[in-house]
Amino acid sequence: MKKLAPHLKEAIKTVREAAAVVEPIRNSIGAHLRPQNVTPGATPTAEVRVLQNHPNLEGTAHIDLSDFKKTTYRGFTQSALLFAWPGAVEDHELEQKNDELQDAVFKAAPALLHSIDVLLIRHWMNMGVLEAPEGYDFAVRDAKTNAYQRVRVERPNGK
């Protein structure tokens, strides 16, 4: 694991950088739209700012009282990012915020997913579900250089 630690640390750093962009969106939208979490205690509230900045914003809701599975609020949720970015008014501002979000997610995703894969491989080896021959090599991508480095896997616990 000593050889993997620097790669995991780099993945953690990359994810923390992405969190600065992604966290406000998670806080304001999350599983449900929570605009009060965008800027708690701010005046005017995020809801008021969005509606002031986008007065023609429309949304529809289909509510089916006989079958709640058919109820949908998609007409409202399609504008959810406006609540994460209540200060973005013009199209170019929304595009800039969207670009920042995409850049952060795409930058963090490979390091995060690769780190998860490595940890799962080690876990499965420890559980005896996966067995790798002694001295098995696999590639770890260096997040700074994008170059792959071979890492030797040794059997955990001397097995």
Q: Which residue has the higher pLDDT, 84 or 63?
A: 63
* pLDDT at site 153: 57
Res 159 pLDDT > 50: no
Q: Show me where the domains of the chain are located.
A: 5-158
Question: Which whole number is the average pLDDT over 55-78?
Answer: 80
* pLDDT at site 92: 92
* pLDDT at site 3: 66
* Plot region of 104 (φ>0 → left; ψ -120 to 50 → alpha; else → beta): alpha
Question: Which whole number is the average pLDDT over 138-148?
Answer: 66
pTM over 0.75: no
* Sequence-separated (6 or more) residues with CB below 8 Å from residue 106: none
* pLDDT at site 24: 75
Using one digit for the tens of pLDDT, what is the confidence trace for 17-57?
A: 888 888 877 776 765 666 677 677 778 877 788 888 888 87
